[in-house]
Amino acid sequence: MTQYQNRSIVLSKRPQGELQDGDLTLETNPVRELKDGEFLIQVLWLSLDPYMRPRMNDTESYVDPVAIGAVMAGETVGRVIASKTPKYSVGDIVTSYSGWQEYYIANENEAMIYTVQPDGVPLQAFLGVAGMPGRTGYCGLTYVGKPKAGETVVVAAASGPVGTVVGQTAKQLGCRAVGIAGGPEKCRYVVEELGFDDCIDYKQGNLLENLKSACPKGIDVYFENVGGEVTKAVAQLLNKGSRAPICGYVSAYNSEDIGKVETPFHIFGALAEPPEHRFFVVTEWQDQHQELTKLLAEQVRSGQLKYRESVAEGLENAVDAFKGMLKGKNFGKQLVHIAD
């Protein structure tokens, strides 16, 4: 396979706070020959997601941190371009956790590799609303949040791929859906395009008062993506018996010591009547991966599930796009286009 030169982005050192030059570096190496039972994926699209930042830290989590010198973790959509296994054929489109690189040698028995049947759905959607973020939003809302018709559901980072699915699913279930997003353009999109009932611009100030106006009956389900001041405002409006699925708290991910951050667990736990709350990961429902992907992809295909994307061109622009995403500079799902 030496005709292929693989560019990859590796973790060179653990970031201290915000990412700095030299934390992630671009390397080029030849692709080795395939062994029996292996196949070669050419990466077409790379997903950039907030969870990647904590994985750069040497701290305990639900998954191991990325090792120094290892390719940065991430999910991709790619095309099989060579194969030494009957399980995968040249031309197959697959999602895999190949990481931030242009080529990936996978084993036929590797977990978390799935063949994709696009059927008119854009390939990159399987990294967004029809992929891991979409399944995260759907599962977190329906299985942890357990919304009932007529209840008020609030979701932070409402214009992102997780929040997009949370709000639109809440509306399908007969709930009042209120988003929180950064900037008037994102808020306008969330209401006018995605069909939320209201959206609060946290950058405008008066977050608590604006939330009170948008949620006159209080908040029954709060889907947590952000943490910090947003969580503190929402906490004051939670109804008795409310639920708060915690997907993440991106506002803290660039902290120099995330272990000292006041998390949503601290904020909710300090309330006189805490909501039912827990951290969850989408792999809890891994056995439903294909079923949920099919459901969300069908909604994309029919136009029922709407979404936005921000696209960086080329692996060499992935780091800057990732830095921008952590500061909310993206609009919708952040992707890197690697190849056609």
C-alpha 100/C-alpha 74 separation (Å) is 6
* Rg of the chain on CA atoms, in Å: 20
Answer whether 244's CB lies under 8 Å from 269's CB: no
Host H or E run for residue 103: strand 103-107
Residues 178, 205: Cα–Cα separation, whole Å: 17
The sign of the torsion formed by the CA atoms of 127, 132, 136, 138 equals positive
Domains of the chain in sequence order: 5-121+307-337 (3.90.180.10), 132-283 (3.40.50.720)
Give the DSSP H or E segment for 222.
Answer: strand 219-223
Distance CA 20, CA 279 (A): 29
Q: Is 110 helix (H, G, I), strand (E, B) or coil?
A: coil
| Residue 248: its H or E element | none
**3-class state of residue 43 by DSSP:** strand
DSSP code at position 84: S
Q: Return per-residue pLDDT of the chain as tens, 340 residues.
A: 568 999 999 999 999 888 899 999 999 999 999 999 999 999 999 999 888 998 898 877 667 889 999 999 999 999 999 999 999 999 999 999 999 999 999 999 998 999 999 999 999 999 999 999 999 999 999 999 999 999 999 999 999 999 999 999 999 999 999 999 999 999 999 999 999 999 999 999 899 999 999 999 999 999 998 888 999 999 999 999 999 999 987 655 655 565 666 778 889 988 999 999 999 999 999 999 999 999 999 999 999 999 999 999 999 999 999 999 888 888 989 999 999 9
What's the pTM? 0.89
Tokens of 111: 């977990």
Task: Quickly tell me which residue has 């609060």 as its tokens.
Answer: 200
